[in-house]
Structure 1
Amino acid sequence: MMFFSCVGYIVLIVVTIYFILVLKQWIRLFKYINLLPGSRAKSFLAHSTDLVKGRATVFKTLRHWGKTYGPVYNISATNLFPSANISGSEEFEKIASTTKHIEKSSIYKLFDRWLGQGLLTSTGSLWHTRRKILTPAFHFSILQNFVSIFNSETKKLVNDLQKETDKPWINILPHISLFTLYSITETSMGSTLNISTSADKSYIKAILELGGLLAERLLRPWGYNKLYDYISLDGIKERKITNDIHNFTQKIITERSKQFKKFQVPSENDSYSMRKKLAFLDLLLNGKEDGNIDDQGIKDEVNTFMFEGHDTTSMSICFTLMLLANYRKYQDEIYEEVVTVIGDNEDPDINRLNDLRLMERFIKESLRLYPSVPFISRSLEEDTIVNGYLLPNKAIVNIHIFDIHRNEKDWPEPEKFDPDRFLPENCVNRHPYAYVPFSAGPRNCIGQRFAMLEIKAVLCGILRNFILEPIDTPETIRIVTDIVLRPENNNIKIKISPRHNKI
């Protein structure tokens, strides 16, 4: 009896010490974060009431706070979770340029059920190992294979859009969303989706729905509690959809595993003609053979690539098409560049896509104004001085890429659309962290070359077949707070007409 009594006392002491240490850390966080500029919260709920007013209103409010209080400021959803916010390039560099702050913040735990410990959410040695396995997927020789997939899917998209040319306008977003979903499915899993089959149709619907559910949860402080999964209708729906996605992914992995044979991972110097057609999944299965990843890890990485390679690229293409419609001079010049560099009917290869310099500048300026991932978040692993303020160890730091891209310190007339900002001579003295659509530092996006090639390939196909005319404009588009940069009601409207007078 005395033994159990002693054990009970020891457990009580350990638990008490733990809570004292946690409380001490929270008090320190609260102290230093509240020294930052910002709107002072008058209640326990802090600014949570501002963050449930509708996603378009929330987006405008966040931009106002960044402009008013930035580049380092304090806006917290509740006083329980004090966090720092950053909207300047120099300040972002302090966080992103070091390997010490690669851990994502607790916000990303919302993705755990879907993405597990994939490249987006993992940290430490696990993240390093996975990054090493997947880096060869973006070597020249494999990217060339992916370009052929982009070309094939572009032709399907063009055929789809040709049925829409007699309409006064179309919402381009669902068309592009399917294009990027088909492309990432084939490049990541080596499988071709078919919207006419019930299983594939259900998977497509599930992927599109899950992003919206997570975006709603992101803005609600109570959404971070695990009870949300079981007591809210959205939480229950999210669990079901996630399970459906996982079952579909597992089926593809199982089928490809049966035919898999270990291979030599290509080096950067391998020629395209020597390479067989590989998907990201093949590299993961190869890693499993080497003992570097298990079955759950493979599923996590495939789901991560499906998420990161679908919605982000889709939104970038849609905003770029909207800008092309609004800036007809650039649209005509880029069409001429495509015909000159590639031709009017030939499929582009990776070399000629890289030669589309004007198109690339246009895309970069589009990504500056409309970065697909407008917000990222880190957890600090040591005390860090930023702009004269101490940000304490374990502090959540939210980086607002949308605001960094419109900071007047780095971008004169930031709202003005001007692709010439990316002429080589205009980039010389720009801060290296002023333009970060794919993040920056050691944790930058591994797929940025993949994304740029996909965007260029689809623009070639669209511009060679259609003239784009404006319906929506930068002034009429209302952006909402979401996981990715998204327009209100998922609408980006343009008019497309057949291009009869080709060069």
Structure 2
Amino acid sequence: MQSFYSQWISLIGFNWTTWFVLASCAVLAWICWRNSRYVRLINAVPGPKGIPILGNLLELNVGQVGNRIVPKFLRIVHREWVEKHGPIYRGWGGSRSIVCISSPELMEPILASQKLITKGKEYSYLSRWLGACMFLTTGLRWRSRRRLLTPAFHFQILESFFDVFNDQSQQLIKELDAAAAAARPAASVDGSVNVYKILTQCALDIICDSSMGRQVRKREETSGYLHSINRITQIVMERSLRPWLDSDLLFNLSALGRENQRCVKILHDFTNQVIQDRKRMLNNNQSDSAADDADVKSQEESPKRRLAFLDLLIQASENGDKLSDDDIREEVDTFMFAGHDTTATAMSWFLYCIARNPEEQKLLLDEVDEVFEDSDRPCTPQDAANLKYLDCCIKETLRMYPSIPGVMRTITEDTEIGGYVLPAGLSVALLIYGMHRNPKVYPEPDAFKPERFLPEHSANRHPYAFIPFSAGPRNCIGQKYAQFELKVVLSWVLRKFEFSLSDPSCPAVSASSEIVLKPVDGIHLSVKRRQPTIAQQSPLKISTTTQQQQQQPN
């Protein structure tokens, strides 16, 4: 045994010649790589100075609050480096470089391109969960999936979802009422309610009901799902800041990798159950097709009538499009994630913005009262179109807090942008949050000014200056769905409640830069029931009524 160790040490541990040769080769390879055309083109772009091997990672070693990346990352990448280096800059993380862009003019060549549609390599970290879904794939597979799913978002189908939006909004009202009652000062230090948590559950119920054909009523059924989504998006961000975990082998062996696997299993189990439930319902409906319509329960009839997304995938698999159960699950996973997490975040930031800006909230309440006249009738597509100021406030919220703070693309061919040649294979980050907060694009970018989106103020704005749903051929396929959902749910909430900050002097809520721009510790607001009175009518109507009364003879 001793002889074996002696041989091993002599061959590996103390063969200085071998180690010297290996080290020399490594240094030589690094020098050759450092002087390659690829690196020289990237380094021609301005950016922060880095150190050998690690690049700029130490500056971005920002730590966490609980499980969330602290806001310093968002501030550095989207604002400080933009201010210092300009609307296009580069950064290094080990041997990996990313060029960041934060102006609409420089984003346009990428967003508008039919060729530069390949997602950034960083999205591959989601592949264990989302597989080769439309969101992650490219080329012919992406185009075929996009064509397959586009009919599910036709305007007439989206209109049929309004009944779900309205029904779930009324359930949300009950939950906000209960939370506000439980959080009164006698039971809570400041009497605030974490609206983010409640809105997240509401958004998940809506997506399951409207597009998956399955109402979710039991909270214990979804708690593990919501926790796993939150954690898996955080893991992606943590992994992207640790280049030694870029290797799938090393990542899978790490504690983060093992946690990621546990989360994926929970998410897949939940989605598989949604799909199987819907398949059973469709099979039951087919077997009962000969029965009289009066004998079919409306609860079973309604989801079939209004459902589009999941049914479309199931029908495609039955019509020879070769969609396996895994293919269906990948698309359902993607739509359930994107369809609830982004809208829940947008609604939460919206309520936070109007709580911080009571004058704008008053204008919103006046508009809602004018449209609905203190009634509890459902919000219709025509109502949604008439809520002009609400639309401006939603857009201003999405400008300040875009649900997706940035998107990544891989440059597949040498491309000139801003006078710099970006080589093929490079990752490019389109900083949506950074561009929306760029004072050269939006003066006073940290101020909540919904009037920015009035037609007279936005007509001459660059078409890529406001892209909360991305833009071009790879824009969000569900953006109309999200816009309708936001308008219906928020119009209901504004009919019933007023929102304020428990302590107006407290610092602004911090955002965590993950895949979705989430509040670090939720959104805690004071929630007060509105009392219906004639004073809540719009000033225009009150003025008109008063004039008519004065003109009448005594």
Does the alignment reach a TM-score above 0.5?
A: yes
Alignment of 1:394-473 (within 5 A): 394-471=425-502
1:32 aligns with 2:32: no
Asked if 1:53 corresponds to 2:62, the answer is yes
Q: Which residue of 2 aligns with 1:384?
A: 415
Shift of 1:251: 2.4
Matching residue of 2:513: 481
CA contact (8 A) 1:151 1:458 kept: yes
Which deviates further from its counterpart, 416-425 or 335-344?
A: 335-344
| Offset, 1:118 | 1.3
Partner of 1:91: 106
Give the 3 Å change call, closer, same or farther, for CA 71–124 of structure 1 in structure 2.
same
Counterparts in 2 of 1:222-301, with a 5 A limit? 222-260=244-282, 276-292=305-321, 293-301=323-331
Residue by residue, what CA displacement relative to the aligned partner does 1:280-312 show, whole Å, maximum 9, x if unpaired?
Answer: 101111222333333222111000001111111
Q: CA deviation at 1:395?
A: 1.2
The corresponding residue for 2:194 is 171
CA contact (8 A) 1:195 1:201 kept: no
Q: Does 1:190 align with 2:213?
A: yes
Equivalent position amino acid for 1:147 in 2: F
Tell me if structure 2 keeps the 8 A contact 1:46–1:77.
yes
User: What's the counterpart of residue 76 of structure 1?
Assistant: 92
Q: Is the 8 A contact 1:150 1:458 kept in 2?
A: yes
* Larger-Rg structure: 2
Q: Report how far residue 259 of structure 1 moved.
A: 4.0
Tell me what 1:64 maps to: 80
- Report the AA paired with residue 298 of structure 1: I
User: Is this contact kept in 2: 1:368–1:435, CA < 8 A?
Assistant: yes
Letter in 2 for 1:321: L
Give the TM-score of the pair, scaled to structure 2.
0.80
**8 Å Cα contact 2:271/2:333 also seen in 1:** yes
In structure 2, stretches of 5+ residues that fail to align are 1-28, 64-69, 185-190, 287-301, 537-554
Q: Compared with structure 1, are the counterparts of its residues 417 and 204 closer, same or farther at alpha carbon in structure 2 (3 Å cutoff)?
A: closer
* Other-structure match for 1:320: 350
Q: Is the 8 A contact 2:405 2:513 kept in 1?
A: no
Match of 1:304 in 2: 334
Q: Deviations over 1:349-378 (max 9, x none)?
A: 222112211100010011101111011100
Q: Which amino acid in the other structure matches residue 257 of structure 2? A: G
1:268 is matched with none
Q: Distance in 1 between matches of 2:381 and 2:152?
A: 15
Deviations 1:410-437 (A, max 9, x none): 2122222211111111112111111110
Q: Which runs of 5+ in 1 are unaligned?
A: 1-19, 264-272
Regions of 4+ moved over 4 Å: 23-26, 472-475
Query: Does the Cα contact within 8 Å between 2:232 and 2:263 map onto a contact in 1?
Result: yes
- Equivalents in 2 of 1:84, 1:472: separation in Å? 40
With normalisation by structure 1, the TM-score equals 0.88
Letter in 2 for 1:37: P
Q: For the structure 1 residues 449 and 311, does the alpha-carbon distance in structure 2 shift closer, same or farther, using more than 3 Å as the test?
A: same
Query: Of 218, 222, 235, which aligns to 1:213?
Result: 235
- 8 Å contact kept, 1:472–1:493: no
Residue 475 of structure 1: how far off its partner (Å) = 4.9
Residue identity opposite 1:336 in structure 2? D
Cα distance in 2 between the residues matched to 1:142 and 1:193: 21
The corresponding residue for 2:383 is 352
Mapped contact 1:315–1:486 kept (Cα < 8 A): yes
Q: Report the residue type matching 2:44 in the other structure.
A: L
Match of 2:162 in 1: 147
219-228 or 397-406, which deviates more: 219-228
Tell me the SS of whatever aligns to 2:392. Answer: helix
In structure 2, the CA distance between the partners of 1:64 and 1:246, relative to structure 1 (3 Å rule), is: same
In structure 1, the partner of 2:526 is: 495
The alpha-carbon deviation at position 87 of structure 1 amounts to 0.8
Cα distance in 1 between the residues matched to 2:47 and 2:101: 12
Instruction: String of CA shifts for 1:21-53, please: whole Å, max 9, x gaps.
Output: xx8899332111111011121221111122222
What are the Cα deviations for residues 455-482 of structure 1, in whole angstroms up to 9, with x where unaligned?
Answer: 1111111111111112476952122221
CA contact (8 A) 2:212 2:307 kept: no
Report the counterpart of residue 9 of structure 1 in structure 2. Answer: none
Q: Given that residues 210 and 306 in structure 2 are in contact (C-alpha distance below 8 angstroms), is that contact kept between their aligned partners in structure 1?
A: no
Paired residues in the alignment total 469
Percent pairwise identity: 35
Report whether the alignment pairs 1:44 with 2:53.
yes
